Amino acid sequence: MNTIKIGLFGFGTVGQGIYHVLKQAKNAHATIKRICVRDISKPRATDLPPSLLTDRQEDILDDPEINLIVEVIDNADAAYGIVTTALRRGIDVVSGNKAMLARHLPELIDMQRRYNAALLYDASSCGSIPVIRNLEEYYDNDLLLEVKGILNGSSNYILSCVFDHGETYGQALDHARRLGFAESDPTFDIGGWDALFKLIIITVHALGEYVAPERIFTYGIQNIHEADIRYAREKRMKIKLVAQVAKVSESAFTMFVMPEFVGPEKYIYSVDDEYNGVVIRGECYDRQFMFGKGAGSLPTASSILSDIMARRHNYRYEYKKMAYLDRPAYTTDVTLRIYARYGTTDIPSLLPFKKITEMYMSEGSNYVIGDILLSDLIAHRRLLDASDIFIANLSRFFSDRDISH
């Protein structure tokens, strides 16, 4: 591909960042030919020539000069329509739409092969941090044991505001929205869904396995309470929303998203505000840590630019690990040690703990610490939505192949 002519879908926070970043990128040899937006009459702050804008998808998809679609719209269903139409026509796509990718990756991988078109999406996971391409290329061996980290900037920003600056949860959420980190529906951020979608994409490139969202335990920070923060502070820990995929044996892996108590000895303890941090653990090399801005206009746009440049050099994901014969299988048959704070709901008798190690009861709130199967947490998932309940993981290793920390 010599000169890249881009059809851009979406001109929100990320779309405007791409417009800005591309104007400065001298070596990209890429220009935006058309931008498709939902509301063409909306006032826009940038110096955008009005002729670039259209509200008709066909103006981009039917334009024979456009050889790359960049899709950064909010709506996952509409994004799916745009991306599949483009791939079917053999047009390459760069996408940042984690919700769409996490739901449709197997089909999209198949379409890339069938129609000989490439789909790149490093921007979908962890903003400016190059997680996907690194997992795909560098970690293409059997040594990988775990990928774990803070994948959602908004919830991390909220937790930082609450822990470090004494703000209320509501004030912090409001700031995250105004700063452009949060999704248009912030329940995706605080409910753990955004981190889940990113984890699913990461797992495809880490282990060559796709697991559908509804099979994975996901629990967010919306029920966090002063009592939980007090408990964490007393133990000199922070609460972070952590997504993780980990091998639990030679033949099995597990994955889930939930709040976790994190001590100062962990890399992710120092990952604050809208930053993301990803720890990659493997045999032979122990741990590596990637840290950077995971949300926001320009950090995400920088990752989109990297994918645009990668297409200039004909880069595509090969999904090599998905073809390996010896791949681990997904399991939820693993035991976690959790903290569960509750009010009137009788958590100790409703949740099937294998063992309870600590219990505290008071007039204001109660908590229990105990061991429970991940499959039992999934089975009781709806119960955990009750507003008087908050659970968090007390981290432990699943695999005994590395016992160094």
Identity of the residue, 91 or 150, whose beta carbon is nearer to ligand HSE in the bound complex: 150
The residue whose two tokens read 């000989």 is 116
User: Within a 13 Å sphere around the CA of 228, how many CA atoms are in the beta-carbon half?
Assistant: 29
Cα angle vertex 266, ends 264, 272, to 5°? Answer: 75
In the complex, minimum distance from the CB of residue 240 to ligand HSE, in angstroms, rounded to a whole number: 13
In the complex, minimum distance from the CB of residue 151 to ligand HSE, in angstroms, rounded to a whole number: 7
In the complex, minimum distance from the CB of residue 173 to ligand HSE, in angstroms, rounded to a whole number: 11
Residues 6+ apart with CB under 8 A from 183: 74, 154, 189, 194
Identity of the residue, 131 or 338, whose beta carbon is nearer to ligand HSE in the bound complex: 131
Say how far apart CA 377 and CA 354 lie, in whole Å: 12
Which element (helix H / strand E) includes 169?
helix 169-178
In the complex, minimum distance from the CB of residue 268 to ligand HSE, in angstroms, rounded to a whole number: 15
User: Which residues contact ligand HSE by CB under 6 A?
Assistant: 127, 152-154, 181-183, 189, 194, 294-295
In the complex, minimum distance from the CB of residue 164 to ligand HSE, in angstroms, rounded to a whole number: 18
The per-residue DSSP string of 100-152 comes to HHHHHHHHHHHHHHHTT--EE-GGGTTTTS-HHHHHHHTT-STTEEEEEEE--
DSSP 86: H
Identity of the residue, 194 or 272, whose beta carbon is nearer to ligand HSE in the bound complex: 194
In the complex, minimum distance from the CB of residue 147 to ligand HSE, in angstroms, rounded to a whole number: 16
Identity of the residue, 67 or 218, whose beta carbon is nearer to ligand HSE in the bound complex: 218
Identity of the residue, 197 or 231, whose beta carbon is nearer to ligand HSE in the bound complex: 197
Which element (helix H / strand E) includes 304?
helix 297-312
218 neighbors 244 (Cβ within 8 angstroms): no
Identity of the residue, 148 or 321, whose beta carbon is nearer to ligand HSE in the bound complex: 148
Q: Which residues of 287-321 are buried (b: 16+ CB within 10 A; e: fewer)?
A: beebbbbbbbbbbbbbbbbbbbbbbbeebebebeb
Residue 51's CB is within 10 A of a number of other CB atoms, namely: 7
The separation between the first and the last C-alpha atoms of the chain, rounded to the nearest angstrom, is: 47
In the complex, minimum distance from the CB of residue 221 to ligand HSE, in angstroms, rounded to a whole number: 12
